[in-house]
Structure 1
Amino acid sequence: MTTILPRSTACFGTTIPTAPIAPLAAVAGSDARVACASGRVRYANLDYAASAPALQTVVDEITAALPRYASVHRGAGQLSQETTAAYEDARRSVARFVGARDDDTVVFTRNTTDSINLLATCVPGDTVVLDVEHHANLLPWKRTGARIVECAQTVAATLTALDRELAARPAALLAITGASNVTGEVLPLPTLATIAHRHGARLFVDAAQLAPHRAVTIADHGIDYLAFSGHKLYAPFGAGVLVGRTDWLDGAEPYLAGGGASADVPREIADDDVDTRWHHGPARHEAGSPNVLGALAVAAACDALIEWGPERIRRHEQSLLARLDAGLGRLPGVRPLRIWSDSHDHVGIAAFTVDGWTPRAVAEHLSDGHGIGVRDGRFCAHPLLSRLGHPDGAVRVSLGLGSRSEDIDRLLTALAEL
């Protein structure tokens, strides 16, 4: 199934800005220059969805934290106490950013994939997922025997299919993406929460591509668990988060066995380890020395995005998207991808193919000829690309706080050459 946008409706927005659009925030490497056919040019980073550059405020936070860095939780020294306080404050910043409930747990992980694998060990029952998910929100659940629902051609029909599946057979969890990493299309999270809860299931949201672009409120949206990655959120320092209800997390075996997760280990350790006592709360699933600097980076990014404000971020992104979508729609042979024909909103991601060119050839032309960085391939969403009729992949453009209209215009000019 390939959904191709008609030329007259290629743009999700209603107003196409023609005035220059400046970056909304300073990011590291914004002035990096690369070699291409025309000489050395400023690198046009249109690959934010893979790994976003660090916000300058995040870089400054880590630079300031390094001289005071020490071990956490068990050190009596002054720097250990300071670092512990900063690490625990980082949890509060994350909780505030996602609008968590007062009794939710914030666990620091390596990334979204790590968070989902952790949660998969805690779910006391079946999980239902769509077949259009990123592998991170598909493969961990397949290991646990998840029930996979086939996506329909519309959002409305897809919601109906999920409702019917949960009604037909009980499940403990509905695991869903907040925004597609291929097309950027956004699903209605409050509606999904209502569907899940009506049938006694909980809702998990993979917010890796949603959190950098939109306000996500766990409590108000009815979300039970949510995960995202620092490297998508302008904090590429190797940390991610899992936020959600405490009972399943405390009721499961520790994700990793080791120091920090253990409250007491007896002198004589039985083969079945039944005498080891484990912590409750975040420590239960954070064995080993934590990535403190990564956690501080995520917190700094969360605080910065709160300060910028979700509406300001959205306006910037939508202006760039309108310019991009309209420009792609005017280029013959460029085929934008969509999953659902009735979706009306997407974050700063657009995927497309170019007639007569492989995705890799397009990406190489953009890089070698124009100093533009995009992503090509199947984006760790192989079933979705096959469903869309492109098993060999597509080209993906993704935007962020450091994006500017000049990047879009250079991309469109380069594509026109093809």
Structure 2
Amino acid sequence: MPTIESPSTLSARPSPIASSALVSLPLSLVGDDLTVPLVTGEQVRYTNLDCAASAPCLRAVDDVLASVLPWYSSVHRGAGFASVVLSDAYDDAREVVAEFLGARSDDAVVFTRNTTDALNLLASSLPEGTTVVSFVSEHHANLLPWRRGTHVQLPVPKSPAHAIALVDAALREVGSGPCLVAIAGASNVTGEIWPIEELATLAHWHGARLAVDAAQLAPHRAIDMAATGIDYLALSAHKLYAPFGAGVLVGRSDWLDAAEPYLAGGGAVRRVTAESTDWASGSARHEAGTPNVIGAIALAAACRELGTVGMRALEEHEEVLRRRATRGLSAIPGVEILSMWGPASVRVGIVTFRLRGLQPGLLASALSAEYGIGVRDGSFCAHPLVDALLEDAADARAGAVRASFGVGTSVTDIDRFLAAIETLATHGPRWPYRLVAGRYVPDPDPRPRPSIAGLRARSAREVPRSVAEPCRALE
């Protein structure tokens, strides 16, 4: 085993682009002036503490798209000038994303729908006989695709050092043949950052490769794939302030070029005859069909904006908020903050907790209906990890509440959230609620729904047509 010092994290790595003194935080977001109705009749500014699920759009990204949309046309196929312009922008987007992530010059950059799509693409591209080593604590997107093949599933580690030891022992047992270690960059449940560089060193020493689910890491920390040793990286644009349906898989091209195309169709081929198909190599091999060029350009615009501000500045801003939220919650009787590795572990802007005496779903609904604060509740598409963290709780399946924030969150937002939690802890909800399809909803719910873009306006009293979200724990 190589010599590995005490586990470090990407939080110690300097931003690739220095922060600008001209940029003030929080950054401006589309919707940061949104007001929402409360069940009590007031209108309040919406406090969005659900950025880990879907982050709002940066105004800088919205500005870029406003300038791009008039040029929308086909890419890499049209002879018209608009097609030439948009094709150039699409190619530029690939380069901007690669630079933002510190990719190697020969890495493939494949645009996908989201992190889940990117990791499924990677799973479909593994050489025959590949063994995948991952932890049961992973988000389902970085857990379920590997179960289709040979998969070594490790338990929730007790510390970063324990994670390294578990991977080392597993890789010693794998033997010959291709092997991939797949980990989260940061936990979507607790926000804790994994020892990526150490695991990359260890994987390479054993002849394996490292894939990182960076959905929660990329919006919060500088990433340098080449320097850190990450072989493959997946992320979602909608968590990186560019919610236009794109994601990306970045990594070594040999496995991707040798694999069957992820989708069979136009754009993924060099030539098709009645009897044969000559598939393309590089990123085009796995991007059949008309691409989501707007989503790709939006992702690149977000990368450029965050790089201009400087990831170090964003990290410092976020850490102030996280510490304030953690201290405030810890002072409220009945609050338990969830953690894999203890309060000293390095984290991104996520605080997940439970409040004794209130079901997480009820707490989340009351925060929204009575205070205009948006959070997430449930098991966060990471059921095994939440089960492990709540193994002593009789109602573990109810999950927890997650507050998550980022570049648009202010100290005022955190203080408003803490005041609401303290009031709910002391007095409970002021409004009655009932369970509908696994969700707590106000009963009655007098809040008017706006008509979005002329679509059908729903009555506040309508029962939701959809059942509980798939990754939400049901009663």
SS of 1:338's equivalent?
A: coil
Tell me by how many angstroms 1:312 deviates.
0.5
Corresponding residue for residue 158 of structure 1: 163
Cα distance change on mapping 1:40 and 1:342 into 2, 3 Å: closer
Q: Which amino acid aligns with 2:101?
A: V
- 2:410 maps to 1:404: yes
**Equivalent position to 1:143, from 136, 144, 148:** 148
What do the CA deviations read for 1:184-226 (whole angstroms, capped 9, x no partner)? Answer: 0001111010111111100000000000000011000000000
Between the aligned partners of 1:143 and 1:47, the Cα distance in structure 2 is 31
After TM superposition, which residue ranges in structure 1, 4 or more long, deviate above 4 angstroms? Answer: none
Between the aligned partners of 1:237 and 1:148, the Cα distance in structure 2 is 33
What do the CA deviations read for 1:157-201 (whole angstroms, capped 9, x no partner)? Answer: 121011110112135100000000001000111101011111110
Q: Which amino acid aligns with 2:197?
A: P
What do the CA deviations read for 1:56-109 (whole angstroms, capped 9, x no partner)? Answer: 000011111000111011211111111100000000000000000011110000
Corresponding residue for residue 201 of structure 1: 208
Tell me by how many angstroms 1:365 deviates.
1.3
Tell me by how many angstroms 1:152 deviates.
2.4
Between the aligned partners of 1:370 and 1:331, the Cα distance in structure 2 is 18
Tell me by how many angstroms 1:262 deviates.
1.4
Tell me by how many angstroms 1:392 deviates.
2.0
Equivalent pair of 2:361/2:398 in contact (CA under 8 Å): no
Corresponding residue for residue 26 of structure 1: 28
Equivalent pair of 2:33/2:46 in contact (CA under 8 Å): yes
**Equivalent position to 1:232, from 235, 239, 247:** 239
Q: Which amino acid aligns with 1:39?
A: E
TM-score w.r.t. length of structure 1: 0.92
Corresponding residue for residue 126 of structure 1: 131
Q: Which amino acid aligns with 1:62?
A: L
SS of 1:361's equivalent?
A: helix
Q: Which amino acid aligns with 1:34?
A: V
Q: Which amino acid aligns with 1:362?
A: L
TM-score w.r.t. length of structure 2: 0.81
Tell me by how many angstroms 1:342 deviates.
7.6
Deviates more, 1:151-160 or 1:205-214: 151-160
Deviates more, 1:281-290 or 1:139-148: 139-148
Corresponding residue for residue 325 of structure 1: 326
SS of 2:110's equivalent?
A: strand
Tell me by how many angstroms 1:355 deviates.
0.3
Alignment of 1:15-414 (within 5 A): 23-36=25-38, 37=40, 39-124=42-127, 125-170=130-175, 172-266=179-273, 268-269=274-275, 275-341=276-342, 344-389=345-390, 390-414=396-420
Cα distance change on mapping 1:240 and 1:394 into 2, 3 Å: same
Between the aligned partners of 1:165 and 1:284, the Cα distance in structure 2 is 33
Equivalent pair of 1:155/1:343 in contact (CA under 8 Å): no
Deviates more, 1:168-177 or 1:187-196: 168-177
What do the CA deviations read for 1:348-372 (whole angstroms, capped 9, x no partner)? Answer: 0010001011101110111111100
Between the aligned partners of 2:333 and 2:25, the Cα distance in structure 1 is 29
Equivalent pair of 1:185/1:343 in contact (CA under 8 Å): no
RMSD: 1.3
Between the aligned partners of 1:277 and 1:343, the Cα distance in structure 2 is 54
Q: Which amino acid aligns with 1:24?
A: P
Tell me by how many angstroms 1:391 deviates.
2.9
Between the aligned partners of 1:297 and 1:155, the Cα distance in structure 2 is 34
Between the aligned partners of 2:339 and 2:363, the Cα distance in structure 1 is 19
Equivalent pair of 2:109/2:249 in contact (CA under 8 Å): yes
What do the CA deviations read for 1:374-415 (whole angstroms, capped 9, x no partner)? Answer: 000000000101111133210000011110111111111111
Between the two structures, name the one with larger relative contact order (CA 8 Å, sep ≥ 6).
Answer: 1
Q: Which amino acid aligns with 1:313?
A: L
Tell me by how many angstroms 1:229 deviates.
0.3
SS of 1:391's equivalent?
A: helix
Tell me by how many angstroms 1:343 deviates.
5.4
